[in-house]
């Protein structure tokens, strides 16, 4: 049995992004480069419905893409991967639930927009990433109070050791920042 190890790590916040293993980073914003979710190098295949994503889903997807690139994985190759996804954040889906309810109120308590409803589940950003990247392993959202990336990494290692998937992405993402780590076995 070989050891589970970190293969890649990516991060993104409101003004910059980076890949840790490859030591690459950049900035974006007004007049300073392209937004990562619009970068054709990071997303050679456009993300279906990216325009309807909330901020947490965009941050999650970008952090995953950066971590996968950092691990040396090709993106947009159409390959299905035996990779699972585990994630968390500080606020769950509170912001999305508030936006949906405010839309419901402004609609006269009759109807709210369905595109806002999609992100009222905290696992929605993880599901969007799993769909786009072709992950076929397990997906788990951990809403444990005080839980952080360390807890996710321990659980991801346990899942790989149990044979649930050959690799895992652990993601901690909110509207301000996101970090994703690719874990797998060294061959």
**How buried is residue 105: exposed, middle or buried, by Cβ count under 10 Å (0-12/13-18/19+)?**
exposed
Residue spans of beta strands (DSSP E) within the chain: 4-13, 16-19, 24-27, 83-88, 139-141, 167-173, 177-185
CB 106 within 8 A of CB 56: no
Q: What is the CATH number of the domain that holds 122?
A: 3.40.47.10
| Domain membership of residue 56 as a residue range | 4-185
pLDDT by residue, tens only, the chain of 187 residues: 458 999 999 999 888 888 888 777 777 766 566 677 777 778 888 887 777 777 888 889 999 999 999 999 988 777 899 999 999 877 655 666 666 666 666 766 556 555 555 566 677 889 889 989 999 999 988 876 666 888 899 999 999 999 999 999 999 988 889 999 999 987 6
Angle at CA of residue 84, ends 79 and 88, nearest 5°? 130
Whether pTM > 0.75 for this model: the answer is yes
In the beta sheet, which residues pair with residue 88? Answer: 172
Domain count, the chain: 1
16-19 and 4-13 strand pairing: antiparallel
């Amino acid at each position: 049995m070989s050891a589970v190890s970190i293969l890649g790590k990516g991060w993104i916040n409101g003004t910059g992004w980076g890949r840790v293993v490859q030591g690459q980073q950049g900035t974006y914003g007004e007049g300073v480069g392209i937004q990562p979710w619009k970068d054709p190098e990071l997303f050679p295949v456009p993300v279906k419905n990216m325009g309807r994503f909330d901020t947490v889903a965009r941050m999650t997807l970008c952090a995953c893409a950066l971590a996968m690139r950092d691990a040396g994985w090709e993106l947009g190759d159409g390959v299905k991967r035996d990779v699972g996804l585990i994630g968390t954040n500080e606020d769950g889906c509170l912001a999305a639930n508030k936006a949906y309810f405010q839309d419901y109120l402004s609609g006269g308590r009759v109807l709210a927009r369905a595109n806002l409803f999609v992100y009222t589940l905290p696992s929605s950003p993880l599901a969007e990433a799993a769909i786009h990247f072709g992950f076929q392993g397990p997906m788990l959202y951990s809403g444990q109070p005080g839980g952080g990336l360390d807890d996710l990494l321990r659980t991801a290692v346990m899942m790989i050791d149990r044979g649930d998937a050959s690799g895992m992405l652990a993601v901690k993402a909110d509207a301000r920042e996101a970090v994703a780590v690719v874990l797998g076995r060294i061959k």
